[in-house]
Structure 1
């Protein structure tokens, strides 16, 4: 049974991620772990009275978090229950990155799915700060970022962007291979260059190994020229070939690095983005045995 973690801040984009996750895995048995984290307001004074105010805020945040998760599950059930899907809710007084890493370690999570932007992110950015932080910190679990206001399409066409400078192991590519096999998808390997030039010997070797790993999956290699930025180039490619999912491996100086470090861009440029699956380097080589988190500060509910 798949274990899917969905962090939520109860925003519209977070709800979109829940709907996308349910539709993506509608034919598979899954446990969806719905996680909301909260932290106290930052106070500058050291006086005890204000410390008590902080505790009051924590209690209020806890109540808000748990009520929000309960309402989220009720909304899911109203939207149409799936007998193959189970939901567990978690309310945690913690930083999001810390709690997600803890979940991945202790709950044997297969995939993280979340909105590409959160409640506090402006409309003029294409990827929110929490999503970027998780992309940069999660080391052993793929993450799927779902844009707001997109219609669901089964990922029959998946683009995988690479510069061929990195040697990929079969374990690292497993999430991509599994997604393609599940949906009988074609993989479009996209190599972006600022100017067209022959591949180096190392790049040719890495391409050969990549094609060997994807041998049983229909795949094609596309070399495209960079237009303004990597993000713009990928957007144009995805639109032209009607791509339903963009996948990347995250390592130092990768395309993921380029996208998450690009200057803030115009909203309209990215409003049609497809979901982005980021696979950490060496992601699937290590997974701990499943065991429950014993943190006292976390509350959990289970819903069928």
Structure 2
């Protein structure tokens, strides 16, 4: 059974992500944990309050949050409900990133799926600031769903990689299972001007080939220019339904996300974006 965590702020974007998750795993046994972190709602109102007032508000917010979570589930479970799916609500007195990360560790979550509004006014990033933080620090694959994306099976998946990062077998298995059940093509794209791989890169490429046995796997290269432009061109050319990348500190992944490191980034991803981790859990 897959364990899926859906953080929600009760927005339309979060609801859209939950509905997408149900469709993505429609024919698979899955347990969906729907989580809301409410610490900022408490401290935002009572930063200088007495301890008794804080404790009272914490309890009130917990009860209010649980009620709203159950109401949310009533709107998405459906009639009749999918017999393969279970739903649980999670209230968390913490900030969103720490709350998600702790729950991922506690329940050994397979995948986090969340909505994103896209560019925010006060952060120079492609995605919203919370999405960026969860991409970077949560030790679990994260799938971000653009707010206007209508569900379709990801028959073509673009996977840009330089073959330098060590891949985790569990993360690749998730990608392999997902792509395999839809009979998807996975295009491993290396953006380079060199013709040959180093021994380390060859080993990592072979590991990909040996691990991703269920989907149709393709190894391709593209010449170096603006990396974001190359990726957007390839998404359009291959009619990709999902973008997948590996996350590592000071990596190509971070270069793509922050405009300060890539001139005129202009990256507007309109398809689901899954970030896999190479961090130990």
TM above 0.5, yes or no, is: yes
Q: Secondary structure at the match of 1:164?
A: coil
Cα distance, 1:187 vs structure 2: 0.7
In structure 2, the CA distance between the partners of 1:36 and 1:206, relative to structure 1 (3 Å rule), is: same
Please list, as runs of the form range in 1=range in 2, the aligned pairs for 1:80-229 lying within 5 A after superposition. 81-117=81-117, 121-122=120-121, 126-139=126-139, 141-193=140-192, 196-202=193-199, 203-215=201-213, 217-228=215-226
Cα distance, 1:227 vs structure 2: 4.8
For residues 46 and 187 of structure 1, the distance between their equivalents in structure 2, rounded to whole angstroms, comes to: 53
Please list, as runs of the form range in 1=range in 2, the aligned pairs for 1:241-252 lying within 5 A after superposition. 241-252=238-249
Q: Secondary structure at the match of 1:166?
A: coil
Instruction: Say whether the 8 Å CA contact 1:164–1:207 is kept in structure 2.
Output: yes
Deviation sequence 1:64-105 (CA, Å, 0-9, x none) = 422321221111135863222111011121122222222222
Question: Is the deviation greater in 200-209 or in 90-99?
Answer: 200-209
For residues 27 and 260 of structure 1, the distance between their equivalents in structure 2, rounded to whole angstroms, comes to: 33
Instruction: Say whether the 8 Å CA contact 2:131–2:144 is kept in structure 1.
Output: yes
Q: Secondary structure at the match of 2:43?
A: coil
Relative contact order higher in (CA < 8 Å, ≥ 6 apart): 1
Instruction: Say whether the 8 Å CA contact 2:158–2:189 is kept in structure 1.
Output: yes
Cα distance, 1:185 vs structure 2: 1.2
Instruction: Say whether the 8 Å CA contact 2:6–2:32 is kept in structure 1.
Output: yes
Q: Does residue 236 of structure 1 match 2:250?
A: no
Cα distance, 1:176 vs structure 2: 1.7
Instruction: Say whether the 8 Å CA contact 1:126–1:265 is kept in structure 2.
Output: no
Instruction: Say whether the 8 Å CA contact 2:243–2:272 is kept in structure 1.
Output: yes
Deviation sequence 1:231-272 (CA, Å, 0-9, x none) = 3332221122111111112123333222333349999851x5
Look up the match of 2:14. 14
Instruction: Say whether the 8 Å CA contact 2:185–2:215 is kept in structure 1.
Output: yes
For residues 9 and 263 of structure 2, the distance between their equivalents in structure 1, rounded to whole angstroms, comes to: 23
Q: Does residue 255 of structure 1 match 2:252?
A: yes
Cα distance, 1:151 vs structure 2: 1.0
Count, aligned residues: 276
In structure 2, the CA distance between the partners of 1:265 and 1:107, relative to structure 1 (3 Å rule), is: farther
Q: What is the RMSD computed on CA atoms of the aligned residues?
A: 3.1
Ranges in structure 1 where 5+ consecutive residues have no aligned partner: 287-304
Cα distance, 1:117 vs structure 2: 3.6
Q: Secondary structure at the match of 1:98?
A: helix
Instruction: Say whether the 8 Å CA contact 1:160–1:189 is kept in structure 2.
Output: yes
Cα distance, 1:166 vs structure 2: 2.4
